[in-house]
Amino acid sequence: MNKNNSKLIIGISSRALFDLDESHEIYKTKGLDSYREYQIDNEDKILNPGKAFPLVKKILNLNNYYDEDRIEVILLSRNTSDTGLRIRNSIEGHNLDIKRAAFCGGESPHRYVKDFGVHLFLSSSIEDVKLALKSDVAAATIISNHDNDHKNSQLRIAFDGDAVIFSDESEIIFQKEGLNAFIENEKNAMGALKAGPFKSFLVELNKIQNDFNLEECPIRTALVTARSAPSDKRVIKTLREWGVRIDESLFLGGMSKKEFLKSFQADIFFDDQKNNILEASEELTSGHVPYGIKN
């Protein structure tokens, strides 16, 4: 299959892709020279998978449905090319189809997310994630305390609504004026919600989903939000106006999201609220989006 000439492009940091905790500790405690020496001495030792590794592998497997690569993953690293050779060897050792890379010599790789056309940037560095968000690229800090078993071959992605898919305009009213003011605003609002940092990524996912019949689609999405009736109506109308498909919409009215995400079998969940992410990360890989009034 090759129905769409565009590509979904994911940027991934080396510390999100591989377990670099040991070498990072050497960098923090002994400095750059010791870190460089350690990585060169061990450059033929394949790194263990990191927090985002299973997700990246599953994303790359989507290319099996196409005649030409429809999804590309790009490595964006603070390493130099010298210290990054171990990372490149590990990519080959794990048979990951990652061809492009930027080794930025200690500086943030966020500068290149736009140049590479990245739709989603995943990193273990909240500073790099914040900088990517300022560049209008969907970005999240990867947090996981659980090994996803990924028994489901379908890629399943769950999103919070406000300050993730949508802007935080309604969340600001809730935080400043309370629940009643928030509900009143949503009931009376005439227009659609404004776009949040992840709208463009969701649109790109939809393009891939539209290549398949609903029953055969290798990607399934869910909106998992604290909203409930009547504030759900504006969400539904906004997605309809955008022409964006969300497969499942869960309006939880403030209930904990963790069990619902577990039942959905999410490969990753994106939320702007750190407490939601920390709770969800006990069961699945999660991405904190440091955007909006809560951040």
Q: What are 189-232's pLDDT values in tens digits?
A: 878 999 999 999 999 999 999 999 999 999 999 999 999 888 89
Residue 191 sits in the same domain as residue 264: yes
Q: What is residue 180's predicted lDDT score, i.e. its pLDDT?
A: 86
Residue 162 sits in the same domain as residue 260: yes
Residue 77 sits in the same domain as residue 177: no
What's the rounded Cα separation, in Å, for the pair 222 and 225?
9
Residue 191 sits in the same domain as residue 256: yes
What's the rounded Cα separation, in Å, for the pair 61 and 75?
17
Residue 101 sits in the same domain as residue 129: yes
Look at residues 100, 120, 142 and tell me which one is the last residue of a structural domain.
142
Percent of the residues in the chain that have a pLDDT greater than 70, as a whole number = 96
Residue 21 sits in the same domain as residue 136: yes
Q: What is residue 144's predicted lDDT score, i.e. its pLDDT?
A: 86
Residue 161 sits in the same domain as residue 277: yes
Picking from 143, 145, 112, 115, the residue whose alpha carbon sits closest to that of residue 128 is 112
Q: Is 294 among the domain residues?
A: no
Number of domains in the chain: 2
Q: Is 216 among the domain residues?
A: yes
Q: Is 269 among the domain residues?
A: yes
Residue 22 sits in the same domain as residue 124: yes
First to last CA, the chain: 42
Q: Are 157 and 205 in contact (CB under 8 A)?
A: yes
Residue 106 sits in the same domain as residue 74: yes
Return the axis-axis angle of helices 169-177 and 179-188, rounded to nearest 10°. Answer: 140
Q: What is residue 147's predicted lDDT score, i.e. its pLDDT?
A: 64
**Catalytically annotated residue among 21, 44, 160, 168:** 160
The predicted model gives 141-163 an average pLDDT of 84
CATH number, domain containing residue 47? 3.40.50.1000
Domain that holds residue 239: 155-288
pLDDT over 60 at 46, yes or no: yes
The answer to whether 44 is a known catalytic residue is no
Q: What is residue 121's predicted lDDT score, i.e. its pLDDT?
A: 98
Residue 134 sits in the same domain as residue 232: no
